[in-house]
A and B are shown apart, each in its own frame.
Chain A
Amino acid sequence: MTTDAEPRVGATNPAAASTDTAHPAGTDVRLAASHVSLAYANARVVHDLSLEVPPGAFTAIVGPNGCGKSTLLRALARLHKPQVGTVTLDGADIHTLHTRDVAREVGLLPQSPHAPAGITVRDLIARGRTPHLGPFSAWSQADADAVAEAIAATGLAGLAERSVDSLSGGQRQRAWIALALAQQTGMLLLDEPTTFLDIAHQYEVLDLVHRLAQTGRTVVAVLHDLAQAARYADHVVLMSAGLVVAAGPPAEVLTAGRVGAAFGLRVTIVPDPVTGTPLIVPTSAPGGADLTPNDPLERTR
């Protein structure tokens, strides 16, 4: 595992960012971004960002709205072409690779995917085999096995013949993750997989994703909940205004100072009573007004 020589923007402890002991020895970084700038139309969203995705670990990308985290994830997934810089997969510029070859290595669950009306869970998951099938390829035993494994891994065995429309939010999200699993990729990118889910379903999905990372898959997820990122991720990348503020183990990245600066409100960090991971508690409203203990919702401007 080579130490990253170039300093990360804003990181106060570069050494911590690169010595990640969560992954098995001898695994190399496969997916990386090098000095990428990303823009929509002509508005630059991400500036000169460099990042290596730690293999075999769960990386969470967090940051305020508009900081560019989803854009970064999409760039890593080959959906967004950098204006400047390159995203590399196994050393090659990801945009020089055929989209189908990339789809065999990198799986993506985008925000708000759309399930065709009336499709069954099994048929949806089967779509994950697309990168391995040509237009007229026959469905093979390997494909059937991949789908069956994906169904088992996500605990959807009893729901396989149901229509996706009839599932709950958490079950539907698990079906989408199963689709990505059926792809049999070494890397899985998830764009806000817990949005629109209630708290029970959120943790259901996070538990599943965490389990997947523990089996050796490289997982990168954009999460909006800092406490969830702290609780489940091995590696956290905190972004703000298109830059990486810090990257490393959750406890080191999510400090009161950094989170406060990135999100624009004063916070205090307390250890989660169950897991001991950082729990972010705001002490002031955005804009600087103090939150009083009696009326936490009252804002004095």
Chain B
Amino acid sequence: MRGAVTRGGGARPIQRGTRRRLHRATLTALVLSAVLLASVVTSLAVGQVDLPLPQVLKAAVGVPSDGADFIVGQLRAPRAYTAALVGALLGVAGALLQSVARNPLASPDLLGVTAGGSAAAVASIALTRSVDSFSIAPWAVAGSLATAALITVLGWRGGIQPMRMVLAGIGVGFVATSITTYMLTKLPERVVGSAYLWTVGSTNARVWRHVVVAAIAAAVVVPIAAWYQRRLRVMEMGDDMAAALGVNVVRVRVGAVAVSGVAAGLATAVTGPIGFVALVAPAIARTLSGRGGIVVGASALMGACVTSVADLIAREALAPTQLPIGLLTAAIGAPYLLVLLARMRN
């Protein structure tokens, strides 16, 4: 920074420190982007048929190359891109909710928001008997949004009480899951299979339609979340402090929870509920970036990385058997949760 302030005597170290910290957040974003890119390219190249890299890269950008087109273009690419985009949506959804609740446990999957989305999706199948994913998707979003609103209201006592919210969320999640299970028992055989898929997170058999929906969702959600970021960071210092700094606390809170619900709902609409990504990604992104507050971009990148890597392992670890992606994310998420709970007890 030119024009160094000379007051205080410590101007030089101060400026150096600023640059070092700015670099840390930027560095984190760059590293995560690199990891994500590597993971996606690996997902495209590796599989039952291992393809040479140049062919893969050509097919990935649409240049016709013999052999790779179908495998990469029709099978692997949609799946890999969907996984990454859904991971980004979940990362952002988790980041927003955790910031609003000022608590790392407040995540859409832990708090039943994604379960609410699944329940609504199955309800729509029960009501309309249609399994067309495009017509079910809005129900999933509406269900997640309604659940997010419900747990916020239940968790409210003069302000969001994180523990109340978490307990309400766990309760609502159980109720949503029970309702879903009940509806599944009542559905006719021909739709039960598809309906069941809506309760299980899966990146298997994704097609380009999924990628388009997820991409549009991410393109809308991430910038809006970034728009809230500065004010959310201020709200993490307490409602009074935030109001004193000119933040409209109620509006930001409602807006952030709504965006979180929509993001989680859209993710659920594309792949079904994938757990733990929304819980783990924002916290790790926060720690790596060192900015002392919500980091939307890094949360999205971290979420995408987690889901992408989990998807790759789910597909290839026991090939040709496909592991459910939820298993992999749980394998990452459960130990993290235990560490978190252990640390909270101190």
Q: Which residues in A have some Cβ–Cβ distance to B below 8 Å? A: 74, 77-79, 98-104, 106-120, 122-124, 127-128, 130-131, 133, 135-136, 141, 144-145, 148-149, 151-152, 157-158, 160-161, 183
Whether B246 contacts A116 by the Cβ 8 Å rule is no
Cα-based distance from A293 to B5 in the complex (angstroms): 57
Of A100, A104, A161, which one neighbours B17 at CB under 8 angstroms? A161
CB distance from B9 to the nearest CB of A (A): 7
Whether B246 contacts A114 by the Cβ 8 Å rule is no
CB distance from A138 to the nearest CB of B (A): 12
The answer to the question of B8 belonging to the interface, with a C-beta cut-off of 8 Å to chain A, is: yes
CB distance from B90 to the nearest CB of A (A): 22
Q: Which residues in B have some Cβ–Cβ distance to A below 8 Å? A: 1, 3, 5, 7-11, 13-14, 17-18, 21, 102, 226-231, 233-234, 236-238, 240-241, 243-248, 286-287, 290-293
Whether A116 contacts B293 by the Cβ 8 Å rule is yes
Given contacts A116-B293, A118-B290, A148-B14, contact A103 B237 (CB under 8 A): no
Q: Write out the residue numbers on chain A whose beta carbons fall within 8 Å of the beta carbon of B1.
A: 141, 144
Given contacts A110-B240, A118-B287, A157-B9, contact A127 B18 (CB under 8 A): no
Of A98, A114, A117, A151, which one neighbours B238 at CB under 8 angstroms? A114
Given contacts A135-B227, A152-B7, A157-B10, contact A108 B244 (CB under 8 A): yes
Whether A127 contacts B233 by the Cβ 8 Å rule is yes
Cα-based distance from A101 to B21 in the complex (angstroms): 30
CB distance from B108 to the nearest CB of A (A): 21
Whether A104 contacts B246 by the Cβ 8 Å rule is yes
Query: Can you list the 8 inter-chain pairs with the closest CB atoms, starting with the nearest?
Result: A119-B292, A103-B246, A152-B8, A100-B246, A108-B244, A110-B240, A157-B10, A131-B246
Given contacts A116-B292, A117-B292, A151-B14, contact A135 B228 (CB under 8 A): yes
Q: Write out the residue numbers on chain A whose beta carbons fall within 8 Å of the beta carbon of B246.
A: 98-104, 130-131
Starting from the known contacts A99-B243, A116-B236, A149-B7, 18 additional A-B residue pairs (CB-CB under 8 Å) come to A77-B244, A79-B240, A101-B246, A103-B244, A106-B244, A116-B237, A118-B292, A119-B291, A122-B18, A127-B233, A131-B245, A133-B230, A135-B226, A136-B226, A136-B227, A148-B8, A157-B9, A161-B17
CB distance from A150 to the nearest CB of B (A): 10
